[in-house]
Structure 1
């Protein structure tokens, strides 16, 4: 039978619908590149965001385009994929159909939920209203533009200003890397650029509920990171959480009050609210429960991967589990199509990295016995020290961090421009004053106390209109 409108035979290949164009979703799609299936990738945005480098956008080190990649570019090399720019609203697992925000229905043979997570504020009063989160491209741009707007305001104050106070909530990798990048920005670019501001352009304070920053790392690496942050002028306030966020301050659970002109929320993620409406098995944190093979519990042919999913392995919400999980899901779909049983997901821990500043980073990397090519050799795992994680600090860790992140980006243009941007910020010893990337910063104009001419009034209105449009 042919389609009466197109004159072509209907596509009889199994239809795989992948919801989410993040790490997990992209790697599901890539794993199915040579499979006899048709793939539909659904995402609320037209681009993939490399979230580990968003803090570089927020601090003026990279352009937004350096860390985003056009999703439809996947079709250049993979012809069995279509991309739909929409928002998933409903799932009917019995009918094997999903409904999008525009009312369109998509029937599927296999469904993969990899739509990621978003910022959570843990119910902290004032956090959503007054703190800036950093989990999307637009949020990173907003932090950057707000920072420079407030610096301009401070510089044009009629009295000498002692600088801004930036408070970062969260001492995990995102918070620490954000603090380090702000310190680099302040020391290399902003202090000489704003002579109108007394002392430093801004102060940086990291608030962490625990007693240490970077809790997932070893005590030795945590100590190194804390020392490096303090050496760069970052104040650490440890051992107390945030009780309340106000427009000009952060109140801690131990009663301390920290003045803040810009509060950045770099802790806590949770699934999007609509996940609770999909009638799926969820854990207490509303993550989708899966079996060992990453199929959703009780729903054959429906998979979940990445941060939105939680399985028996209870893996951390990081890029590597999402990447490997996405690839695994693609392989399991091919096994099901071939009539073979699925396999349990085995996660290979490639370690973790965090950058603090110029020539300063920390890393835990797998020992020799954990390398995939040698992992099958039993006696290596018994040799003392061979199977331990290797600890790196300073320049070696910095170089590993650089090449891991560059290599993980999608697209040659992104890799080249990001390499150039990071080299300018961190790599060249002779380039101590890199110029930050800035966006739209409205002009700061004081109220006029005396009447002005019609021409001046028109010029001010035009300038205000231009600022608003920008």
Structure 2
């Protein structure tokens, strides 16, 4: 057996897009398989990847983060109900069941659709046969003065943890204050499902966990207020569900300021369009979303809101073989920016890529609206479940809470996340004898003594 001298060996030529070893990792010595590049590891991106699990393709999943975030439960992280790891899933874990997948932790900055390749932030180019854009959206402040500087959005894990940290920092600050009326005033901007769930969780935290833990904060000094431009909260729900949710929030001590939007956000206040000024130690922004600004540089057609224009089969207009799915896509059906439309859209993209590979026509998205739900607090929720034939079941109270719990637990990725999240939520809301759940504390700065001065020797 002979050994080649490495110094005189002929280097193996690499493919143009082989910076990550994609060709070697996902193909054998034969012709390379068609390359599907999925940008974004959210609901739509993961659904598209899974739909291609058994397809004769090699898949590259690109995401700026190394994990998938279950955004519907981020507010539980922000309010101390769950740990960040309970609602996140390591994207590389998908390879345990899907060997045709390669995961790249990077960021898309440019696309050359004629050459069918994309450039990443590290200047590496990756060629594709089919491209799927599923990058989701981010917080929309609607140009409100001071909102970006002083309000806390909640659309990522780091943002939720930032809210939790600041919540406990302000509680400790209030506990140390010599003023007996000093406390914590939280204003939640937005009366949709997220805003209602944040406000309900904060009220639950105050009543069950913090009132006995912070005897220094007297009376009603921990306030929770919801500001909503419209005249009702949960406007996408049936009227009786809106009424029930408003009554439950008020019963739990949450104040509702309806009929006026936010004109400005200040360091310690929220100013409404009707001139009202509400004191705010912490402002949580859950009023809207829009696509990331960088989408405009990817050579994709966009609508007035910045979302990517796609056809009924979710192919980008004028770009065959390029798809967009999830919140970033503006389909003719004008789907809501929720988890179910993103999942169903991602699954359709996977099926349509298979159809193109097999020479079959693509299919249009037939969205099945399964309903919507929101939790308010301990054994209190609203749920609207759509049944075949156009019928709908509307639920409230404990039954709706159990449905909400089941749906969210089963929607999580990975058995570990399901078990830990179930334990956390049942502990927080479920046990009738467990009235004082201890919250998961934010990262409050450590109190450190001053450093001793250097010793001065007297000669």
Same fold (TM over 0.5): yes
Q: Compute the displacement of 1:4 (Å).
A: 5.4
* Match runs of 1:2-21 below 5 Å: 9=29, 11-21=31-41
2:450 is paired with a residue of what secondary structure?
helix
CA distance in structure 2 between the aligned counterparts of 1:178 and 1:159, rounded to whole angstroms: 28
Please name the residue that 1:200 is paired with.
220
Residues 348, 459 of structure 1: CA spacing in aligned structure 2 closer, same or farther, 3 A cutoff? farther
Is residue 370–residue 385 contact of structure 2 (8 Å, CA) maintained in 1?
A: yes
Contact 1:160 1:198 in 2 (8 A): yes
- Secondary structure (helix, strand or coil) at the match of 1:258 reads strand
- State the distance in 2 between where 1:241 and 1:123 align: 13
In structure 2, stretches of 5+ residues that fail to align are: 1-10, 15-23, 455-459
Name the CA distance, whole Å, in 2 between partners of 1:10 and 1:261: 63
User: 2: distance between equivalents of 1:427 and 1:460?
Assistant: 53
1:170 corresponds to: 190
Other-structure match for 2:435 = 432
Task: Give 1:282 deviation, angstroms.
Answer: 0.5
1:101-159 Cα distance to aligned partner (Å, 9 max, x none): 00111100000000000001000000000000000000000000101001101101133
Query: Does 2:237 align with 1:234?
Result: no
TM-score after normalising by structure 2: 0.92
- Separation in 1, partners of 2:231, 2:452: 55
Match of 2:6 in 1: none
Distance 1:297 1:155, change over 3 A: same
- The structure-2 alpha-carbon separation of the partners of 1:308 and 1:194, relative to structure 1 and needing over 3 Å to count, comes to same
Q: Check whether the contact 1:161–1:196 (CA below 8 A) recurs between aligned residues.
A: no
* Residues 1:395 and 2:375 are matched in the alignment: no
User: Does the residue aligned with 2:326 lie in a helix, a strand or coil?
Assistant: coil
Task: Determine the structure 1 residue equivalent to 2:367.
Answer: 347
Match of 2:380? 360
Residue aligning to 1:457? 450
Give the structure 2 partner of residue 65 of structure 1: 85
Residue 52 of structure 2 is matched in structure 1 by 32
Q: How many residues align?
A: 433
What CA distance in whole angstroms lies between the structure 2 residues aligned with 1:19 and 1:287? 15
For residues 316 and 345 of structure 1, the distance between their equivalents in structure 2, rounded to whole angstroms, comes to 14
Indicate the residue corresponding to 1:296 in structure 2: 316
Contact 1:28-1:329 at 8 Å conserved across structures: yes
- Give the secondary structure class of the aligned counterpart of 1:204: strand
Alpha-carbon separation, structure 1, partners of 2:382 and 2:36:
40
Structure 1 residue 459: deviation in Å?
A: 6.3
5+ residue gaps, structure 1, are 371-380, 382-386, 446-455, 462-470
Scaled by the length of structure 1, the TM-score of the pair is 0.90
Q: Does 1:418 align with 2:438?
A: no
Structure 2 residue 400 is matched with structure 1 residue 407: no
Q: Specify the alignment match of 2:180 in structure 1.
A: 160
Residue of structure 2 equivalent to 1:113: 133
Superposed CA deviations along residues 301-325 of structure 1, whole A, max 9, x for unmatched, are 0000000001110000000000000
CA distances 1:191-247 after superposition (whole Å, capped 9, x unpaired): 111111111351000000000000100111000000000000000000000000000
- Residue 457 of structure 1: CA displacement? 3.1
Give the aligned CA root-mean-square deviation in angstroms: 1.7
Distance 2:434 2:31 in 1: 57
1:444 Cα offset (Å): 6.1
